[in-house]
């Protein structure tokens, strides 16, 4: 009985996506709708274009922009977060500024970077870095202030140096919160990459999709959207993988606390 | 020798400790009892140099204590908050030893394993704190303190949150450790029986603003036993004496 | 206590007499003054960085124009409409998926695959299919805000204390009441989190559509200011967008604290 239930659940889980895709294929094929082309055409564009020469000419530049901007902001934000997290008065003094930049809708900064930095790769990378900075910064600060004071007192009691305390007590203690910030920022990085490529670029996935839309190459446009979905999925998975490696202790501790 | 000289501590307008003077002779086991909130943790933190006193001072071998000295180790009241959850039991114990120049890798390893063996945790060496029971976690914290090889061991209600059976075991463990490694022990508790059972001397604190109410020498034989010692007429006399003292004080306040 | 050490250097810098409550004001003013100074002495190029004081003056002047208020209103109502739609749909489906194992199993993979698609990727498709108007802005913002609300609602439903459900069952509460009276209230802190995230996401998409596609709103004003190479105006409008985001966040935090007063994280008396 129970076994049966589980089989049904697993079957449902696997079958539903297939059913949905099949339904689309059946629905779109005879209709020959301009905006919703048959599945076959989308897949053909996916294979011929995106998995063809566009891997190097468009997909790679996009990935590079994301990775550069994201890592740049991660380094800056964690460093700055340490400075602010460790000094109560500095933290209080800068709280409104951090709050402001965290609340600012990131796309609003796009016109600004175009104005100041132009439309080159540097401008895109810096825009991504700027946008990703604040969620990580805010989470790092929260992570550091959230560390149990007893842990830091323990380190002081046993004569741990300031450096040792930062490296082995404060950093690991703040890491779960830092990763939460990284996850938020990674999806922002993808968003900023896409819209900056929509608005002004000569290559990239966003550029490819926008160009396809302008030329009314609808299958190419949809397949580009699928590529972005896959890219978002892979980036997210990669970060989760790293996180589960680094934070194995945290998962265990949380489970034990339940 | 460790001396607390006219020590006082305020938190804002709250006078947690009015004035306390007490000295701790080498190799003696002193228990400090007092009602909850009377400033026992505050006193230990001042002694250990974690918290600067508002008045008076703490001296160790004649020098004022301004930050945690190498000679002291402190076992915190709440074990679950003083162990690093991202370190295994081994790393938690070894962490304070990482800057010890006099220990090579093998000696360090031996010291850690010996300390864990002393508290009966050899099997749990590779586990994380959150995989252990409360009593095991507190024993890890104790092993960390022993491995640090302090002259003075400060303990803040270390057994307050374990069950009665574990508590009795841990009390005997502390007595055994104390016999094995000669150390000055300052043991804070709010349990009167425990203070008389463990200590060579009991310092009774009153309610805030806190002062020393009484200092009692415990005239029990050095060998203690959960059953016979607790039936000893001297034990019974001392515990009712302390009890009456604390009750009496609270009635007046 | 832990802070004793950390306090000393800043205290030295700012003087021991500065009370903590004044620090946020002082810090903000100091930052503004510093950038202002840097621009005025030529450390930052004035062509790209107007002095902050000028930004505020420009913003003040903008507040007197009808076009600014039109833009703000267009941003606000489309944001509210999309968040409302996302909340209704997200909570409904989330409760369904939280309550029924079969629905959960059927849709889990679909959700897993659809969620990471950056919603901005759909902008070209949406404007082709729906057109360049408020409808496409609201649709996409609602689509984007839907996911966090859905996910948080499911989390919340799965996190309901089994004990609370058992108690309700033991007292003979019918299934519908168990859902409405027990499951939903205990899931509500999660739903609150979902709506808070959804609100930020909806605002991002609304502004993106305004800037990228040129649909009326605050973002379109920024776009126009940039195209007109009006640097001060661009900065002033970005400042306004940030202040808008901040007030929305604050509003939600207040609302949550009021509605979820019973939840431990909002109780006043917790140490
Ligand atoms: N960091 C602090 N800030 C303000 N007040 C404090 C602080 N630490 C302790 N106090 C106050 O000082 C008094 C003594 O606290 P302390 O923790 O030393 O008591 P205790 O004897 O250890 O109590 P318990 O037996 O419950 O552990 C209490 O009134 C407490 O509220
Ligand atoms: Mg205490």
pLDDT at residue A249 is higher than 50: yes
State yes or no: pLDDT of B244 exceeds 90.
no
In this prediction, residue A2 carries a pLDDT of 55
Residue C198 placed within a domain? yes
What is this model's ipTM? 0.87
As a whole number of angstroms, the distance between CA B172 and CA B174 comes to 5
C178 shares a domain with C143: yes
The whole-chain average pLDDT of chain A stands at 88
Q: Report the percent of chain A where pLDDT is more than 70.
A: 98
Please compute the mean of the pLDDT values over residues A154-158 and round it to a whole number. Answer: 93
- Whether C88 is covered by a domain: the verdict is yes
* One domain, residues C141 and C208: yes
- C247 and C119 share one domain: yes
The band of A21, judged by pLDDT with boundaries at 50, 70 and 90, is confident
**Average of pLDDT values for B221-234?**
88
Distance from CA of A151 to the nearest CA of B (A): 5
The reply to whether C54 falls in a domain is: no
Residues C31 and C116 placed together within one structural domain of the fold: no
Same domain, C103 and C184: yes
User: In Å, how far is A139's CA from the nearest CA of chain C?
Assistant: 15
User: Which pLDDT does position C174 carry in this prediction?
Assistant: 78
| Strand positions, DSSP E, B49-200 | 55-60, 63-64, 72-75, 152-156, 184-189
Residues C130 and C90 occupy one common structural domain: yes
Q: What CA–CA distance (Å, rounded) separates B46 from B38?
A: 14
In the prediction, which pLDDT does C9 show? 44
- Using CB distances shorter than 6 Å, the residues near ligand 1 are B 11, 14, 16, 36-42, 77, 157, 190; C 1
**How far off is chain A from B84, nearest CA to CA, in Å?**
7
- Coil vs helix vs strand at A56: helix
Query: Are C4 and B45 inside 8 Å of each other by CB?
Result: no
Asked whether residue C191 falls in the same domain as residue C222, the answer is yes
Per the CB < 8 A criterion, the answer to whether B183 and B152 are in contact is: yes
- What integer pLDDT is reported at residue A200 of this predicted model? 85
Same domain, C109 and C88: yes
3-state secondary structure of B19: strand
CATH code: domain of residue C215: 1.10.3720.10
Chains adjacent to C (≥3 CB pairs closer than 8 angstroms): A, B
* pLDDT of B62 higher than 70: yes
Q: Residue B163 above 60 pLDDT?
A: yes
> Cβ of A252 under 8 Å from any chain B Cβ?
yes
Domain ranges, residue C210: 59-270
Q: In this structure, are C155 and C237 located in the same domain?
A: yes
Q: Tell me how crowded residue B215 is: count the other CB atoms within 10 A of its CB.
A: 11
The total number of structural domains that make up chain C: 2
Average pLDDT over residues B238-252: 75
pLDDT the model gives residue C160:
76
CB-based contact, B74 to chain A, within 8 Å? yes
- For chain A, domains (ranges, CATH) are 41-257 (1.10.3720.10)
Q: Contact at 8 Å (CB) between A57 and A64? A: no
Question: How confident is the model at residue B208, as a pLDDT?
Answer: 80
Res B181 pLDDT > 90 = no
B144 Cα distance to chain centroid: 13
Specify if C224 maps to a domain. yes
H-run or E-run covering B14: strand B14-24
pLDDT value at residue B94? 94
Host H or E run for residue B7: strand B2-11
Closest by Cβ to C27, choosing from A94, A115, A198:
A94
How many CB atoms are located within 10 Å of the residue B123 CB?
A: 11
Is C169 within a domain?
yes
Asked whether residue C232 is domain-assigned, the answer is yes
Residue B123 has what pLDDT?
Answer: 93
Provide the pLDDT for residue C267. 58
Beta pairing class for B201-205 and B29-33: parallel
Rounded to 5°, the CA angle C165-C169-C170 comes to 115
On whether both C113 and C209 belong to a single domain, the answer is: yes
Q: Which residues of chain C have pLDDT under 50?
A: 1-12, 269-271
What pLDDT is attached to residue C266?
63
Among B86, B127, B133, the strongest candidate for a mutation testing the A interface, having the largest count of A CBs within 10 A, is B86
Please give the pLDDT value at position B252.
Answer: 45
Compute the average pLDDT of residues A173-177. 93
Kindly state whether residues C10 and C101 are assigned to the same domain.
no
* Pairwise CA distance, residues C160 & C184, whole Å: 9
Do C176 and C214 form a contact (C-beta atoms < 8 A)?
no
Distance B31 CA to ligand 2 centre (A): 14
Residue B249 has pLDDT above 60, yes or no: no
The reply to whether C9 and C84 lie within a common domain is: no
């Amino acid at each position: 009985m129970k076994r049966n239930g589980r089989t049904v659940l697993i079957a449902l889980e696997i079958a539903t996506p297939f059913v949905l895709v099949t339904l689309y294929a059946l629905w779109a094929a005879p209709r020959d709708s301009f905006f919703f082309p048959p599945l076959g055409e989308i897949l053909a564009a996916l294979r011929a274009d995106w998995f063809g020469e566009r891997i190097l000419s468009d997909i790679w530049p996009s990935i590079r922009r994301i990775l550069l901007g994201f890592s740049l902001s991660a380094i800056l934000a964690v460093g700055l977060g340490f400075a602010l997290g460790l000094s109560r008065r500095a933290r209080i003094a800068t709280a409104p500024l951090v709050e402001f930049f965290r609340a600012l809708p990131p796309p609003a900064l796009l016109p600004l970077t175009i104005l100041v930095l132009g439309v080159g790769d540097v401008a895109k990378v810096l825009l991504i870095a700027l946008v990703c900075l604040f969620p990580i910064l805010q989470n790092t600060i929260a992570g550091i202030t959230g560390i149990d004071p007893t842990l830091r007192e323990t380190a002081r009691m046993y004569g741990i140096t300031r450096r040792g305390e930062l490296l082995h007590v404060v950093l690991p203690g703040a890491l779960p919160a830092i990763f939460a910030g990284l996850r938020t920022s990674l999806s922002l990085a993808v968003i900023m990459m896409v819209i900056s490529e929509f608005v002004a670029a000569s290559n990239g996935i966003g550029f490819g999709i926008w160009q396809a839309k302008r030329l009314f190459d609808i299958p190419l446009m949809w397949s580009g959207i699928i590529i972005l979905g896959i890219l978002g999925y892979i980036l997210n998975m990669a970060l989760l993988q790293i996180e589960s490696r680094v934070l194995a202790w945290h998962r265990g501790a949380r489970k034990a606390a339940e | 020798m460790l001396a607390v000289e006219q020590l006082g501590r305020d938190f804002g307008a709250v006078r947690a400790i009015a004035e306390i003077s007490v000295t701790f002779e080498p190799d003696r086991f002193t228990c400090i009892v007092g009602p909850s909130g009377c400033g026992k943790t505050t006193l230990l933190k001042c002694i250990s140099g974690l918290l600067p006193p508002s008045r008076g001072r703490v001296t160790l071998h004649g020098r004022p204590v301004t930050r945690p000295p190498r000679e002291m180790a402190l076992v915190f009241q709440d074990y679950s908050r003083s162990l690093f959850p991202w370190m295994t039991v081994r790393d938690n114990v070894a962490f304070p030893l990482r800057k010890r120049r006099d220990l090579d890798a093998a000696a360090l390893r031996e010291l850690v394993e010996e300390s864990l063996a002393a508290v009966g945790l050899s099997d749990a060496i590779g586990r994380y704190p959150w995989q252990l029971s409360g009593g095991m976690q507190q024993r890890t914290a104790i092993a960390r303190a022993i491995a640090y090889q302090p002259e003075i061991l400060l303990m803040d209600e270390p057994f307050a949150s374990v069950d009665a059976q574990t508590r009795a075991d841990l009390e005997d463990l502390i007595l055994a450790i104390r016999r094995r490694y000669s150390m000055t022990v300052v043991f804070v508790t709010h349990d009167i029986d425990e203070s008389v059972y463990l200590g060579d001397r009991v310092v009774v604190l009153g309610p805030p603003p806190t002062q020393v109410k009484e200092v009692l020498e415990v005239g029990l034989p050095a060998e203690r036993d959960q059953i016979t010692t607790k039936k000893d007429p001297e034990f019974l006399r001392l515990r009712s004496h302390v009890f009456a003292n604390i009750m009496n004080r609270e009635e007046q306040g | 206590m832990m802070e004793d050490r950390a306090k000393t250097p800043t205290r030295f810098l700012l003087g021991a007499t500065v009370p903590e409550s004044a620090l946020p004001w002082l810090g903000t003013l100091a930052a503004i003054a510093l950038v202002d100074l840097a621009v005025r002495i030529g450390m930052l190029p004035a062509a790209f960085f107007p002095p902050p004081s000028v930004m505020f003056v420009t913003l003040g002047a903008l507040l007197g124009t009808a076009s600014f208020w039109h833009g703000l209103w267009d941003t606000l109502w489309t944001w509210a409409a999309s968040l409302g739609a996302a909340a209704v749909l997200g909570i409904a489906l989330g409760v369904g998926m939280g309550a029924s194992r079969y629905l959960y199993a059927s849709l889990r993979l679909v959700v897993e695959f659809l969620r990471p698609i950056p919603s901005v990727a759909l902008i070209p498709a949406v404007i082709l299919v729906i057109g360049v108007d408020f409808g496409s802005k609201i649709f996409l913002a609602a689509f984007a805000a839907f996911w966090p609300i859905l996910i948080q609602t499911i989390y919340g439903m799965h996190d309901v204390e089994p004990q609370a459900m058992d108690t309700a069952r033991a007292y003979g509460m019918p299934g519908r009441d168990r859902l409405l009276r027990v499951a939903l209230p205990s899931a509500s802190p999660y739903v609150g989190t979902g709506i808070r995230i959804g609100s930020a996401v909806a605002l991002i998409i609304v502004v993106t559509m305004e800037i990228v596609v040129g649909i009326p709103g605050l973002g379109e004003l920024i776009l126009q200011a940039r195209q007109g190479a009006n640097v001060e105006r661009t900065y002033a409008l970005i400042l306004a967008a940030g202040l808008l985001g901040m007030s929305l966040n604050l509003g939600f935090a207040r609302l949550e604290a009021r509605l979820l007063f019973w939840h431990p994280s909002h109780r006043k008396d917790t140490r």
